[in-house]
C-alpha cells in the first residue's frame, strides 16, 4: 500500500520506517524542515535502537522517503497516518491544535479517497472532530474520507521491535472498508509474513491479536493502558515506601506479587517514578477527560500525586545522608527518562537535578545518550565523558537511570575515586549486598538494609518493565 505519515517524531519515524520494512511504500513528512533535511542527509533526529538500520535500508531500497512537501505526501498515500504531537496544555488537557491543523490540510490537499488514521494519542471522541473537519474543509474537492484510530503501544528504546512484533494491534473503525484496509496494512505483521532484519530473542513467537473496536474505544484504550501502567508503578512505589518504613524488602514483595498471574510481574519496579513523554501526560489527560465526563478519577489523581512526590522524598533521603547539600559535589549517573533512549522529556533525573541545584549542590552528570539534550536544559551541570570521570572527588553518586552497562562498571575503582563512597540508587539497579561488601554506603528504594542479608535479587530488565 501507499502510506503517508505526517509527523517525524518518535511515533511517526518508527511507524513510517516499519511500514516500509514490511513492504509498503511510505512518504513521511513534517513541518519542521530541519528534521526532513537531517533525514534526507542520512541522519536521525532521535536515538532509537535499530531505527537507523531500517531507515537506511528502506531508503536505499526506495520504499521510504522524506518530504517537506505536505501536499505531495498527502496525495501520495491511500492511507494517511497522523503522528503529530499532542503535548499537555497548562491545565493538563492534550493540545489538539496540531491534529486539527493536519486534518484541515488533509481535507484541502487530498485529490483521491483517503483513509485517515489517528496514531497520535488523543482523548476519546477526537475521531468525531477529525471526521467533521475533513467533511467541512474537504467539501469543495468532494473527496471521500474515512477515519480510523490505531493507537500505538511503542516503548521508547524498543519501539522498532514493539512495532514489528506487537502483542496486539488495535484498530478503531466505523466501517468495514477501513477495517479491511487496516487489515491489509498490518497483514505482513499479523501473519508474520516478512523477514525481520532486526529480530532478536525478546520478540514474541506468537502472532499478535488484531482487535477491531469502535473509534471511541480505540482512543480510550490507549489512555486506559498508559494510565494503568502509571497506577501500577505508583502502587509499587507506595509499597516500597511501606517496606522502607516497616523493615520489609520491596524486591521480595514484588517478586511474590508478580508471580500472581492476575497481577503480573511487569511495571512493579520502584524508584524515582515514571517519566517520559507518555505516562505523565497521558494520565493527566485521562484525568481531565474523566473530570469533564463527570467520572470520579481520584484513583488516577493519587497515582499522579505519588509520582510527583518521588523526587521530593528522594531529595529528603539525600539531605539526611549529606546533611547540607550546598557545595556538595553530587554525581548523577543517567539522565534519560529510562535506558536505551536519549529522551529527557519529563525525566525524573532532570527534575531531581533541578531541585539539587536550587539547594546549591554542584552537579556533574553522565549519560550514554542523553547529555546533548540535557545540556540544553541544564547548562550549569558539568557533563563528563564516562562514569569514572563523573565520580572523581564527589561526595555522593545518584543513579537516576538504569542503563544496563552501569551494572558492569568497575565499582571498586569508582569507590576509590569518590571523596565519600555514598551511592543513592534511585532505580534499584545494583545489588545491595555486593555494594556494601565493596565498602560503599549504599542506599536504594524500599529494600531491606539488614546486615548479612544474602538473598539473590531478581534481575531488573533493560526495558524496566519487569521486576
Q: Which residue is nearest to ligand UDX (CB)?
A: 278
| Among the residue ranges 58-66, 106-114, 150-158, 358-366, the one whose residues contact ligand UDX (CB under 6 A) | 150-158
Give residues 214-243 in contact with ligand UDX (rule: CB under 6 A): 226, 229, 233
Residue 419 Cα distances to 52, 296, 388, 429, 441, angstroms: 41, 51, 13, 22, 12
Give residues 162-221 in contact with ligand UDX (rule: CB under 6 A): none
Nearer to ligand UDX among residue 254 and residue 391 (C-beta): 254
**From candidates 7, 85, 123, 276, binder to ligand UDX by CB under 6 A:** 276
| Among the residue ranges 48-56, 112-120, 276-284, 428-436, the one whose residues contact ligand UDX (CB under 6 A) | 276-284
Rule CB under 6 A: is residue 267 a binding residue for ligand UDX?
A: yes
Closest residue by Cα to residue 119 from 14, 33, 20, 189: 14
**From candidates 186, 337, 440, 442, binder to ligand UDX by CB under 6 A:** 337
**Long-range contacts formed by 300-307: CB under 8 A, 24+ apart:** 300/227, 300/230, 300/231, 302/234, 303/227, 303/230, 303/231, 303/233, 303/234, 303/235, 304/230, 304/234, 304/280, 306/234, 306/237, 306/238, 306/273, 307/230, 307/233, 307/234, 307/237, 307/273, 307/274, 307/280
| Residue 450 exposed, middle or buried by CB count within 10 Å (0-12, 13-18, 19+) | exposed
Q: How far is the CB of 45 from ligand UDX (least distance, A)?
A: 17
**From candidates 223, 443, 447, 465, binder to ligand UDX by CB under 6 A:** 465
Catalytic residue ranges: 278
| Among the residue ranges 169-177, 189-197, 264-272, 352-360, the one whose residues contact ligand UDX (CB under 6 A) | 264-272
DSSP secondary structure, 281-344, as one string: HHHHHHHHHHHHTT---HHHHHHHHHHHHHHHHHHHHHHHHHS--TT-EEEEE--SSSTT----
Q: How far is the CB of 165 from ligand UDX (least distance, A)?
A: 14
Nearer to ligand UDX among residue 16 and residue 421 (C-beta): 16
Q: How far is the CB of 273 from ligand UDX (least distance, A)?
A: 6
**From candidates 48, 118, 156, 367, binder to ligand UDX by CB under 6 A:** 156
Closest residue by Cα to residue 437 from 451, 416, 425, 427: 451
Rule CB under 6 A: is residue 268 a binding residue for ligand UDX?
A: yes
- Residues making contact with ligand UDX (CB under 6 A): 152-156, 226, 229, 233, 267-269, 271, 273-276, 278-279, 337-338, 464-465
Amino acid at each position: 500500500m501507499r502510506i503517508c505519515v505526517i509527523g517525524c517524531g518518535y511515533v511517526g519515524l518508527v511507524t513510517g520506517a516499519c511500514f516500509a520494512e514490511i513492504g509498503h511504500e511510505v512518504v513521511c513528512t513534517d513541518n519542521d524542515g530541519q528534521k526532513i533535511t537531517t533525514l534526507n542527509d542520512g541522519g536521525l533526529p532521535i536515538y532509537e535502537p535499530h531505527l537507523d538500520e531500517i531507515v537506511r535500508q528502506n531508503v536505499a531500497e526506495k520504499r521510504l522517503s522524506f518530504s517537506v512537501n505536505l501536499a505531495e505526501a498527502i496525495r501520495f498515500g491511500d492511507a494517511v497516518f497522523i503522528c503529530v504531537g499532542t503535548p499537555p496544555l497548562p491545565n493538563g488537557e492534550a493540545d489538539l491544535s496540531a491534529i486539527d491543523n493536519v486534518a484541515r490540510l488533509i481535507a484541502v490537499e487530498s485529490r483521491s479517497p483517503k483513509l485517515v488514521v489517528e496514531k497520535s494519542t488523543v482523548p476519546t471522541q477526537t475521531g468525531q472532530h477529525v471526521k467533521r473537519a475533513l467533511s467541512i474543509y474537504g467539501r469543495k474537492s468532494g473527496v471521500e474520507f474515512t477515519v480510523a484510530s490505531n493507537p500505538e503501544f511503542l516503548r521508547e528504546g524498543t519501539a522498532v521491535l514493539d512495532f514489528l512484533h506487537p502483542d496486539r494491534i488495535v484498530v478503531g473503525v466505523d466501517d468495514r472498508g477501513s477495517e479491511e484496509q487496516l487489515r491489509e496494512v498490518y497483514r505482513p505483521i499479523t501473519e508474520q509474513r516478512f523477514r525481520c532484519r532486526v529480530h532478536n530473542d525478546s520478540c514474541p513467537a506468537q502472532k499478535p491479536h488484531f482487535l477491531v473496536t469502535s473509534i471511541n474505544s480505540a482512543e480510550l484504550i490507549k489512555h486506559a493502558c498508559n494510565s494503568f501502567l502509571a497506577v501500577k508503578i505508583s502502587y509499587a512505589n507506595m509499597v516500597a515506601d511501606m517496606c522502607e518504613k516497616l523493615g520489609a524488602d520491596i524486591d521480595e514483595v514484588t517478586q511474590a506479587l508478580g508471580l500472581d498471574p492476575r497481577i503480573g510481574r511487569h511495571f512493579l519496579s520502584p524508584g524515582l517514578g515514571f517519566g517520559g513523554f507518555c505516562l505523565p501526560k497521558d494520565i493527566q489527560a485521562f484525568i481531565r477527560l474523566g473530570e469533564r465526563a463527570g467520572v470520579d478519577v481520584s484513583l488516577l489523581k493519587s497515582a499522579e500525586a505519588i509520582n510527583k512526590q518521588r523526587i521530593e522524598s528522594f531529595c529528603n533521603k539525600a539531605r539526611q545522608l549529606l546533611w547540607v547539600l550546598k557545595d556538595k559535589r553530587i554525581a548523577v549517573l543517567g539522565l534519560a527518562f529510562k535506558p536505551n533512549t536519549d529522551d529527557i522529556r519529563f525525566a525524573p533525573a532532570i527534575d531531581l537535578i533541578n531541585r539539587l541545584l536550587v539547594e546549591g549542590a554542584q552537579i556533574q552528570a553522565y549519560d550514554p545518550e542523553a547529555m546533548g539534550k540535557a545540556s540544553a536544559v541544564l547548562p550549569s551541570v558539568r557533563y563528563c565523558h564516562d562514569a569514572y570521570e563523573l565520580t572523581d572527588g564527589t561526595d555522593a553518586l545518584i543513579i537516576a537511570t538504569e542503563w544496563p552497562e552501569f551494572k558492569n562498571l568497575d565499582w571498586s575503582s569508582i569507590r576509590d575515586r569518590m571523596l565519600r563512597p555514598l551511592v543513592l540508587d534511585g532505580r534499584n539497579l545494583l545489588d545491595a549486598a555486593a555494594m556494601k561488601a565493596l565498602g560503599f554506603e549504599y542506599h536504594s528504594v524500599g529494600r531491606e538494609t539488614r546486615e548479612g542479608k544474602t538473598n539473590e535479587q531478581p534481575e531488573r530488565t533493560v526495558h524496566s518493565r519487569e521486576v
